[in-house]
Amino acid sequence: MVLAQGPKVKHYIESCEVEYLLRKGAEIIGWAGRDGVKRAGKIRRGIGMARGWHASSCSGFEPSGIADTGGAFIKVNDDSTVSLVTALADAGQGELTALAQIAAETLGVGVDDVIVSDADTDNAPYDAVTHASRGIYVGGGAVKLAAEDAKKSLLDWAGKILEASPEDLELKDRRVFVKGAPSKSVSIAQVAASARINNWGTIVGKSSYAASGFAPHFTVKFIEVEVNTETGQVRVVRAICGADVGQPISPMGVEGQLHGGLAQGIGFALMENVSFDDSGNTTNTDFLNYKLLTAMEVPEKVEVFLAPSRESTGPFGAKGIGESALNDVATAVVNAIAHATGVRFKELPVTAEKVLKALRERA
């Protein structure tokens, strides 16, 4: 059992491929030979690693006391398109694309056939804030349930047209087929139109959903740095990012999250810092004085790999990725600096000034 956002958020770990991540990452970075990298002279290199994890929601197998429900509406239209209404807030992670993929897979249509309405809770089911890496695990779970709800009506009414039991039908390529008789089928568009014309109704589905747990997702980072002992400058030259996210709904989206978490974590480790005066006022209130990572500091060599994994409590076996993409980066960077210089830093950011001071004190 593992705890997440507080002692009441409990979950039994079902899917965990941390060992795979560690072994695979070590193999890619060349961990066994890391002491062979240059650790003397002006430019020194070091390799460090860290692992992290995060919950995929705030739910547990017992009531957690934290609101974490999601919901969705689904409507199948006369042209085989699917309207999806959700209040899930996509802050740039690509969650709405993944939700469209979940709806499309459930209903046997293409991703381009799903029309996502990014609504709010005035006209969509309640959805908790985008936190706890819950977008796919909870929001995606809600979409899958709503799509399955619509699928029941779709198959029932297709059965009337095909004179077949709904249990004997399957969805594929925007059509409803009789299992074992591929020549006997009807288009989803025809089913939707027939339902409307014959006053059977509209093919709709709805859900309001709370996950049964929080399904931890796991990450590793293997980082190689270059330290200039004359200037104190630290440069990340290579990064290996591994993740166990269950079955990835959108592999490209997961990769993007890992790239973004890496960049944010490097900035957190090496330069980002809020400073205050004696009265508690922030003194670096603009981006001239608050240093952010730029494209110049992002390593050219970044490799992402995903563990073969599946989480039975998630939609199509998926878990989250959001926060754990960042959680282990700074630790891996600091470990790499320690390997290169022999100096262990315990305060962030590890600026060039701090590195120079530590090297001089060590000498």
CATH number at residue 169: 3.30.365.10
**b/e map 12-47, b = 16+ CB within 10 Å:** eebbbbbebbbebbbeebebeebeebeeeeeebbbb
pLDDT 10s digits, 298-328: 999 999 999 999 999 999 999 999 999 999 9
Rounded to the nearest 5 degrees, what angle is found at the Cα of 53, between the Cα atoms of 51 and 57? 170
Confidence check: pLDDT of 1 > 70: no
What whole-number percentage of the chain has pLDDT above 70?
Answer: 99
Q: Are 133 and 55 in contact (CB under 8 A)?
A: yes
Range of the domain at 185: 69-210
Verify that 250 and 136 share a domain, yes or no.
Answer: no
Verify that 54 and 135 share a domain, yes or no.
Answer: no
Where a domain ends, among 179, 210, 241? 210
Verify that 78 and 191 share a domain, yes or no.
Answer: yes
User: Does residue 257 form part of some domain?
Assistant: yes
Verify that 77 and 48 share a domain, yes or no.
Answer: no
SS3 state at 102:
helix
Verify that 113 and 194 share a domain, yes or no.
Answer: yes
Verify that 203 and 323 share a domain, yes or no.
Answer: no
6: left (phi over 0), alpha (psi -120 to 50) or beta: left
User: Does residue 64 form part of some domain?
Assistant: no
Please provide the average confidence, as pLDDT, over all residues in the chain. Answer: 93
Where a domain ends, among 176, 210, 244? 210
pLDDT 10s digits, 234-267: 999 999 999 999 999 999 999 999 999 999 999 9
Supply the pLDDT for residue 307.
Answer: 98
Predicted TM-score (pTM) of the model is 0.92
Least confident of 59-73, 97-111, 120-134: 59-73
184 φ/ψ angles, rounded to the nearest 5 degrees = -105, 105
SS3 state at 195:
helix
Verify that 11 and 25 share a domain, yes or no.
Answer: yes
Verify that 175 and 259 share a domain, yes or no.
Answer: no
Work out the average pLDDT over 94-111: 96
Verify that 295 and 345 share a domain, yes or no.
Answer: yes
Supply the pLDDT for residue 358.
Answer: 95
Helices (H), the chain: 18-29, 95-107, 141-162, 188-197, 251-270, 324-327, 329-341, 352-362
Verify that 152 and 198 share a domain, yes or no.
Answer: yes
Supply the pLDDT for residue 211.
Answer: 87
**Domains of the chain: total:** 2
Verify that 268 and 326 share a domain, yes or no.
Answer: yes
Where a domain ends, among 151, 186, 210? 210
Confidence check: pLDDT of 8 > 90: no
User: Does residue 318 form part of some domain?
Assistant: yes
Of 45, 115, 28, the closest CA to residue 80 belongs to 115
- The residue written with tokens 């110049």 in the block is 296
User: From the CA atom positions of the chain, what is the Rg in Å?
Assistant: 25
Q: Are 63 and 213 in contact (CB under 8 A)?
A: no
